[in-house]
Amino acid sequence: MPDVQHSSFQHADAHEPRHITLNGTGQSGQVITNDSATPGISEYRRLKQSDLVEVDHRVLIREFDSTTVQTHFIPVDFSGTILRWIAVIDNPLVTASNTYELRIDGVLVTSTPITFAIAGSPGDQQSATATGLNTFNSGANIEVVGTTIGNSDATVDTTFHITYRLA
């Protein structure tokens, strides 16, 4: 039946579970889901907020040569909320520590900055959870700003992961 359009299915060919009967417009907006009480049985009902799963998204920025103060701009064409961010270094800092801030259109996101101290190991991570001033609208710039870069180790790169949820 791969060439049969769904609109031409007869009732016997329908995909709906056989034990569910559509009884008219009163069921508008309802969906077929697993019955929470009986395994293997479906039910026709409206979704509740608790049925929905929030999906977090992540953007990745790679900073090469962490020896100079740099600002990385991420223009966004959607609205959302920053949840947390993580930074990872690929080599130890030998000469000084590095500090980074997360901003939205120049405004510091609460619960930043992230600082890497001298020494450490490849793969060391620092993270921060955003607790305020962390919502953005379409057209905004999310910014990762190196504010204190005393490091002169040209072989150190930093990768930033910013986790956000769409509005």
39 and 74 together in one domain = no
Provide the residue range defining the domain that includes 27: 6-51
Pairing outcome for strands 42-45 and 114-116? unpaired
132 and 67 together in one domain = yes
Please state which of the ranges 7-11, 30-34, 135-139, 161-165 shows the lowest mean pLDDT.
7-11
16 and 77 together in one domain = no
Whether the CB-CB separation of 59 and 144 falls below 8 Å is answered with: no
Q: 74-93, pLDDT tens digit by residue? A: 999 999 999 999 999 888 88
136 and 155 together in one domain = yes
Whether the CB-CB separation of 44 and 28 falls below 8 Å is answered with: no
Residues in the chain: 167
Q: Which residues fall within 8 angstroms of residue 20, CB to CB, at 6 or more apart?
A: 32, 42, 43, 44
Q: What is the pTM of this model?
A: 0.67
The structural domain count of the chain equals 2
Residue 1 lies in a domain: no
Q: 108-149, pLDDT tens digit by residue? A: 999 878 988 887 778 899 999 999 999 999 999 999 998 877
74 and 10 together in one domain = no
Residue 92 lies in a domain: yes
